[in-house]
């Protein structure tokens, strides 16, 4: 019998957001060899995966394929509550550092 492994569900890391689409923006994600999985931290200024040097972060809302080139994607950029353990943090980005940077834009990590 085949075994199927289910990946993360879209936006399962999102606990709450502001009314309407106030928490969301569209961001051009940089081309990447891998998918941007839902919950991936990205650098708002570059559209690439977050690094320890990233000043302003956003969170990819839906899993997005940018393997063929840059694509526009919905991100959570302000006024939301998220589950920290479910966020996809690139190597070198600690939860504590990400929490501080997300808190600066009104995203509360629980």
pLDDT tier at 8 (50, 70, 90 boundaries)?
confident
- Could you report the per-residue pLDDT of 83-98, keeping only the tens digit for each? 999 999 988 899 999 9
Mean pLDDT (whole number) for 28-32: 95
Q: Which domain holds residue 36?
A: 19-109
Number of domains in the chain: 1
- CATH classification of the domain holding 26: 2.40.300.10
Query: What pTM, to 2 d.p., does this model score?
Result: 0.92
List, in sequence order, every residue forming a beta bridge with 87; answer none if it has no partner.
none
Considering the domain boundaries, does residue 81 fall inside one? yes
pLDDT at 6 exceeding the cut of 90:
no
């Amino acid at each position: 019998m085949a075994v199927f492994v289910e990946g993360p569900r879209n936006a399962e890391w999102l606990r709450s957001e502001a009314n309407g689409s106030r928490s969301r923006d569209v961001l051009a994600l940089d081309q990447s060899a891998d998918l941007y999985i839902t919950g991936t931290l990205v650098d708002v200024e570059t559209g690439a995966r977050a690094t320890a040097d990233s000043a302003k972060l956003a969170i990819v809302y839906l899993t997005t394929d940018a393997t063929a080139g840059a694509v526009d994607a919905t991100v959570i950029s302000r006024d939301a509550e998220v589950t920290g353990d479910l966020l996809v943090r690139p190597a070198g980005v600690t939860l504590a550092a990400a929490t501080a940077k997300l808190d600066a834009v009104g995203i509360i990590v629980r």
